[in-house]
Amino acid sequence: MKQGQINVTKENLLQWIENYRWMVETIEEARQPVSKVDNNSYIGAKTAMYGIEATLPKASGGTSDPVYTEVQRRVYSLNYRIKEYEQKIAEIQKRIPLVQGDREVEVLHRLLDGDSMRAIGKHMKLSSTTIFRIRNNILNQIIEMHE
């Protein structure tokens, strides 16, 4: 498997369905525009422009400021995770039309909304065992896409 590709298994699909809501919310949060005040609030990344500091040689390459380095690490990490979340979400979304049956569709959408199995069962007036079986039917339907 190449870097950047995701491994699609039944277990992975189940995990992605369970994590779908917060992955979408994380992507939405990351895409929010940063206000101009927030964008310029990190003073440690600036270079002194006046006084004796302006005449001193500047370091080439990176910075020795650990806070700035940590900010850079977090930005890189978030960008990598966002790309991974987008792939997982896209994989689920392209498989949604494969789900057949009214109960299966309802359970899938409620799972994607972040509802628990117990809450879904209560809403649909079905036992937890029945909801669990419906969830397994959903997984069987969407995994058959590429097998």
**How many other CB atoms are found less than 10 A from the CB of residue 85?**
20
Structural domain count of the chain: 1
pLDDT number for residue 144: 73
For residue 58, being part of any structural domain is answered with: no
User: Which tokens hold the place of 20?
Assistant: 């779908």
- Residue-averaged pLDDT of the chain: 83
User: Which tokens hold the place of 137?
Assistant: 């039917």
Measured CA to CA in angstroms, residue 89 lies from 14, 17, 45 at distances of: 12, 8, 35
pLDDT number for residue 40: 46
For residue 43, being part of any structural domain is answered with: no
For residue 2, being part of any structural domain is answered with: no
For residue 72, being part of any structural domain is answered with: yes
For residue 4, being part of any structural domain is answered with: no
**Three-class secondary structure of residue 24 per DSSP:** helix
Question: What value does the mean pLDDT take over residues 39-43?
Answer: 46
Over residues 78-99, the pLDDT tens digits come to 888 899 999 999 999 999 999 9
Q: Tell which residue, 76, 68, 71, 81, has the closest CA to residue 26.
A: 81
What domain range is 101 assigned to?
10-32+63-143
